[in-house]
């Protein structure tokens, strides 16, 4: 069984020039080939002609990839301690006084407007911290807000909770405990 239902092979001609080139070939089930902008020799286009037939892959090669974790036991222990000893912790790009990201600035302004004391940690100072936090919280972006030892969310979640009053309630409870 093949992906292409025709009996004749498909021929593609592709020209790589200094401007984006694309080739669309309508064929049976429809095959589309698009190239990105690439310049090999602007004065003389390069043309590739190749005959091929699409065949499905029946088996995938088994590969094992080992990725080292940025969340070391030492970093996890440090994060646990910082988050447990502070009622409100914001891991952000920049500092309270000099946020270096609009999202971080938004969360800082929300917390300041609520007169909430919080610890701010600049994740830009340490790449291992930045990568480890992504694993620690299972959240890929910053800022990351923690309230009473629990991950609360990023900027969008914080803004939404602030607008509907849930953030104020949660922070009042946290400050009283």
**pLDDT class of 41 with cuts at 50, 70, 90:** very low
Any domain includes 19: no
- For residue 36, being part of any structural domain is answered with no
For residue 67, what pLDDT is reported? 56
Does 61 reside within a domain?
Answer: no
Average pLDDT over residues 54-71: 56
3 state SS of 45? coil
- What are residue 31's DSSP bridge partners? 25
Distance between CA 175 and CA 177 in Å, rounded? 6
Q: Quick one: average pLDDT of 71-88?
A: 95
157: confidence class by pLDDT, cuts 50, 70, 90: very high
Residue 51 lies in a domain: no
Q: Is the pLDDT of residue 61 over 80?
A: no
Evaluate whether residue 149 is within a structural domain.
yes
Tell me the pLDDT of the chain averaged across its residues. Answer: 75
Domain of 157, CATH number, reads 3.40.30.10
| Stronger pLDDT, 60 or 29, i.e. the higher one | 60
pLDDT digits (tens, 9 = 90+) for 140-153: 999 999 999 999 99
Is residue 59's pLDDT more than 90?
no
Instruction: List the one residue out of 66, 65, 77, 64 whose CA is nearest residue 132.
Output: 77
Number of domains in the chain: 1
| Confidence at residue 146, expressed as pLDDT on a 0 to 100 scale | 98
Q: What is the mean pLDDT of residues 22-31?
A: 39
Residue 133 domain boundaries: 73-176
State the average pLDDT over residues 39-61.
43
Q: Does residue 136 lie within any of the structural domains? A: yes
pLDDT recorded at residue 69: 82
Q: Are 123 and 100 in contact (CB under 8 A)?
A: no
Question: CA–CA separation, 125 vs 120, rounded Å?
Answer: 12
| Predicted local confidence at residue 68, as pLDDT | 66
112 located within any domain: yes
Contact predicate 73/66, CB 8 Å: no
Percentage above 90 pLDDT, the chain: 59
Tokens 């803004």 -> residue:
159
> What's the pLDDT at 53?
46
List pLDDT tens digits, range 98-135.
999 999 999 999 999 999 999 999 999 999 999 999 99
Only one residue has tokens 């690439």, namely 38
Residue 89 lies in a domain: yes
State the pLDDT at residue 35. 36
């Amino acid at each position: 069984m093949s992906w292409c239902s025709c009996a004749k092979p498909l021929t593609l001609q592709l020209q790589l020039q200094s401007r984006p080139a694309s080739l669309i070939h309508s064929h049976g089930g429809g095959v589309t080939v698009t190239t990105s902008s690439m310049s090999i020799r602007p004065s003389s286009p390069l043309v590739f002609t190749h005959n091929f037939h699409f065949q499905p892959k029946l088996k995938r090669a088994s590969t094992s990839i080992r990725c080292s974790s940025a969340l070391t036991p030492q970093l996890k222990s440090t994060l646990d301690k910082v988050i447990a000893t502070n009622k409100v912790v914001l891991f952000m790009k920049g500092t309270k006084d000099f946020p270096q990201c609009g999202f971080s600035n938004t969360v800082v302004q929300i917390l300041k407007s609520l007169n909430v004391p919080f610890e701010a940690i600049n994740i830009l100072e340490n790449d291992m911290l930045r990568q480890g936090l992504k694993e620690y919280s299972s959240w890929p972006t910053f800022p990351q807000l923690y309230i009473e030892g629990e991950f609360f969310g990023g900027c969008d979640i914080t803004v939404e909770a602030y607008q509907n009053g849930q953030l104020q309630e949660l922070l009042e409870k946290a400050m009283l405990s």
